[in-house]
Amino acid sequence: MREVDPEVLARWRLTAGPALGHRESGTWAATRDGTSMVVKYLDDATFPDWPYTLRVADALRAQGWPTPEPVEEPIVVPHGAWALFHRLPGRSVRQGGADPPADQRARGRLLAELHASATATGITAQRRGFTGPAEVVADPALDHRLRVYERTHPAEGAALRKCRESTAAWFADHPVDTLPHSVIHGDFAPWNLLFDATDGRLTGLVDFEGTHFTLQVADFALSWRGYQDEVLRGYDEVRPLSDLEWHAIRPAFHAWLFIGVAQTPAVPGPPPDLAWQVAHLSKHSALLDRKTGLGR
């Protein structure tokens, strides 16, 4: 894992602390004059069009959401940028282990409120490098990449290719332009939500790596994760989902699994690890089955 560039530390007068994540792009605790901060490397591969992520976080902060606030202008370097933020208080309610149904439902309600604020930001521009779910699964490069993957992983590759085909067919038969769209967070999961330990108030919404403009139900990809139905119930309590939205959840979720897969190199070298995608194909939602008629 990379370390904080010494020139960045010197320029911002920082004392580097421990790493806060395990991704290649890197996030670290830091201090300056006794004040807690967070320094982050926004590499172009993980954060294409990284200024977009800052714009979305800033717009939501203006709507009252506790998003990371930059302390300095980013330092642009080849292949990315360094960013410095005030460290938000609070901690995740789940550092590991179970995600109780009550927490899932509360997260769903909170996500519905976030989407109302996201709509109010007025941001409708698409982030460079991202598309809607229908475009993801309709990409011929994805079909080619999965066929190549299938040569070395026959069963897994066939399952992924069948999922891509059925998802592309669903979107072709069900135009979703009229469904609610906005910028989404992209990973509205427990580990990206910080709360005050005393009163339970939300104190931080972090990690805008996956933010872009799309169907609002696409935000269920990592908040609901294919099986945590209380998230859907909580959301529906605040903003009732239409019948078409209920039917769009699973195709949008499946399309999310393929984001970036078409861009993975086919050769040379070993095939990419698509075990995460394969595992999520088996996630089961009894609530979604019932809402879409598959459980009858």
Residue type, 269: G
143, 240: one domain = yes
> Which residues, including other chains, have CB under 8 Å from residue 44's CB and lie 6 or more apart?
50, 79, 80
Asked if residue 22 has pLDDT above 80, the reply is no
74 with 164, same domain: the answer is: no
The answer on 201 and 59 residing in a single domain is no
Using DSSP, state whether 101 is helix, strand or coil.
Answer: helix
Whether residues 65 and 39 fall in one domain? yes
Query: CA-CA distance, 206 to 195, in Å (whole number)?
Result: 12
At 296 the pLDDT is 42
The domain of 83 spans 6-88
31-82 per-position pLDDT tens digit: 999 999 999 999 998 889 999 999 999 999 999 999 999 999 999 999 999 9
Q: Does residue 108 fall inside a structural domain?
A: yes
Q: Look at residues 54, 70, 88 and tell me which one is the last residue of a structural domain.
A: 88
Return mean pLDDT, the chain: 93
Task: Convert the pLDDT of each residue in 199-219 to its tens digit.
Answer: 999 999 999 999 999 999 999
Please state whether the predicted TM-score (pTM) of the whole model is above 0.95.
no
Q: Is the pLDDT of residue 267 over 70?
A: no
State both tokens at 284.
């089961």
Structural domain count of the chain: 2
Residues 28 and 64 in one domain: yes
Interior/surface letters 203-232, b for 16+ CB within 10 angstroms, e for the rest: bbbbbbbbbbbbbbbbbbbbbbbbebbbbb
Q: What is the tens place of the pLDDT at every residue in 154-169?
A: 999 999 999 999 999 9
How is 196-262 classified by DSSP, letter by letter? Answer: -TTT--EEEE---TT-EEEEGGGGHHHHTTTT-HHHHHHHHHHSPPPHHHHHHHHHHHHHHHTTTGG
Residues 56, 197: one domain?
no
- Single-letter amino acid code for the residue at 136: V
Per the document, the length of the chain is: 296
Q: Is residue 284 located within the same domain as residue 252?
A: yes
Domain boundary among 66, 88, 110: 88
Torsion from C-alpha of 112, 117, 122, 128, nearest 10 degrees:
-70
Instruction: Give the C-alpha separation, 293 to 296, whole Å.
Output: 6
Give the model confidence (pLDDT) of 91-117 as tens digits: 987 655 578 999 999 999 999 999 999
Same domain, 253 and 233: yes
DSSP state of 177: T
Q: Do 41 and 147 share a structural domain?
A: no
pLDDT at 9 over 60: yes
Pairing state between β 35-43 and 27-32: antiparallel
- 234-247 pLDDT, tens digit per residue, is 999 999 999 999 99
Residue 196 banded pLDDT, cuts 50, 70, 90: very high
